[in-house]
Homo-oligomer: A and B are copies of this chain.
Amino acid sequence: MALFFRLEEAVSDLIHDGDSVAMEGFTHLIPFAAGHEIIRQRLRNLTLIRMTPDLIYDQLIGAGCARKLIFSWGGNPGVGSLHRLRDAVERGWPNPIEIEEHSHAAMANAYAAGASNLPCAVFRGYEGVDLAQLNPNIRTVTCPFTGERLACVPAIRPDVAVIHARRADREGNVLLEGIVGVQKEAVLSAKRSLVTVEEVVDNFGPRSPNAVILPKWTVSAISVVPGGARPSYAHGYYSRDNSFYVKWDEVSKSRESFLEWLRLEVTA
């Protein structure tokens, strides 16, 4: 049953050292505020799961929170590299990081399989590519009807999912809308879940009968954090701060400027 908590409390109740954590949001609604709270609480040895690690995981990795990363595309969208991720992979700073790498199709199917309480996801993919040889979690099953070999990856079943949404109602139901990515699947696949929201409304009012809603009993905790997705965006609330994404390329390039940013903007 979803209850409302301060972000600090929700993070410390739900997320612990060594947990696997999926923070999702596909360009839209990336839960940056929750990420910064994880950094402030100095959580360590996390397995971070996310299709597009993006700036949010660049920050967590640079801050030393991560032991392992499960992902499918690790870049700064439209800008270039994730320098902190690269520094961890290429030079082991601030600590070596294990990576488990997939394709988007595999990750999307693995989240859906997790939400469906399946041990694995079966799909078409990974034909003839090197990743299939290197990642022992890419296997195959054979269709018992046609004999076709299909790709198979483990379901994603994180300890905790963290997402940002536009709004919750007073009962604790959460409305997802617009670019919904894999957020619903992330929450349904996880043992525990934290949703940060822009605002709480009395009720959602008139809406599509097929609105994408997480009922209160699927969410562990809700925190009201206006602006909680910045510099990503929340449709109808604020736009993507594209200049920050560009600026991040500079900020994150050196360890020194990154640590300075971290001190000034997150941990201070």
A interface residues, Cβ below 8 angstroms from B: 116-120, 122-124, 137, 139-146, 148, 150, 152, 154, 177-178, 180, 207-212, 235
Contact = CB atoms under 8 A, between A and B. Distances in A.
B210 A177 contact: yes
B124 A143 contact: no
Contact of A119 (B120, B145, B178, B212): B145
Contacts of A212: 210
Contact of A208 (B140, B142, B210, B235): B210
A116 B122 CA distance: 11
A146 B140 CA distance: 13
Given A122-B122, A137-B145, 13 more contacts: A119-B143, A119-B146, A141-B142, A141-B143, A141-B144, A144-B152, A177-B208, A178-B209, A208-B208, A208-B210, A208-B211, A209-B235, A210-B211
Copy number in the complex reads 2
* SS class, residues of chain A in contact with chain B: loop
A119 B123 CA distance: 10
14 contacts: A118-B122, A118-B124, A119-B143, A119-B145, A119-B148, A120-B143, A122-B122, A122-B141, A139-B144, A141-B143, A141-B144, A177-B210, A178-B210, A208-B208
Given A208-B208, A210-B177, A210-B180, A154 B150 contact: no
Contacts of A140: 144
A124 B117 CA distance: 9
A117 B148 CA distance: 12
Contacts of A117: 124
* Residue with the greatest number of chain B CB neighbours at <10 A, chosen from A118, A122, A141, A211: A122
Contacts of A137: 145
Contacts of A235: 209
